[in-house]
Amino acid sequence: MLKVSYVADGFQNEFAFDFEFFQPRDIRVAVNDSMMPQTEYNLAHAEDNMRGGTISFANPPENGVRIDIFRRIHLERFIDYQPTARIEPEHLNADFKFLLEAFKDLKGVEIDLAEWKNIHCNVIVLLEAVLATGVLKTNEDYGSIADPV
């Protein structure tokens, strides 16, 4: 899971984060391990760039309070592929990226996409592992992804 934590000083009411998200409701905030309703804070970010931003509170949190800002992707279908329509590669790649990022959030697993070969067998191995166990396996569990299957 992507997360940044702060300890409040009683004066600061803005807290920055620098990780990617897909929609504003993917960003969550917890104060002393209690989830905050999204109405209790404001998220500011560049509309054309869903990476990073600032969480602000109307009143500064009390001194010593721990603030966790993290991403929990809201699973929602953005692209609806039609049977007779051409599938655009950028849409398909965006869909796969969304799914992989969602898997990371669910189990806190880091998948190094640079090492992940874009071949059918690797995708099948990943999906079979998730379906069979509900848990993603890492490169250490399978050996190097670059090794021949």
The Cα–Cα gap between 39 and 106 comes to: 24
Measured at the CA of 21, the angle between CA 96 and CA 43, to 5 degrees, comes to: 160
Q: Is residue 58 part of a domain?
A: yes
Tokens 């999204």 label which residue?
A: 38
Q: Which residues pair with 42 in a beta bridge?
A: 56
The Cα–Cα gap between 104 and 118 comes to: 18
The domain total for the chain is 2
Q: Are 78 and 98 in contact (CB under 8 A)?
A: yes
Phi and psi at 133, nearest 5°, equal: -115, -20
**Same-domain check for residues 58 and 94:** no
Report pLDDT digits (tens) over 10-61: 999 999 999 888 888 889 999 998 889 989 999 998 777 788 899 999 999 9
Domain boundary among 71, 97, 127: 71
Which pTM value belongs to this model?
0.64
**For residue 111, what are the domain limits?**
89-142
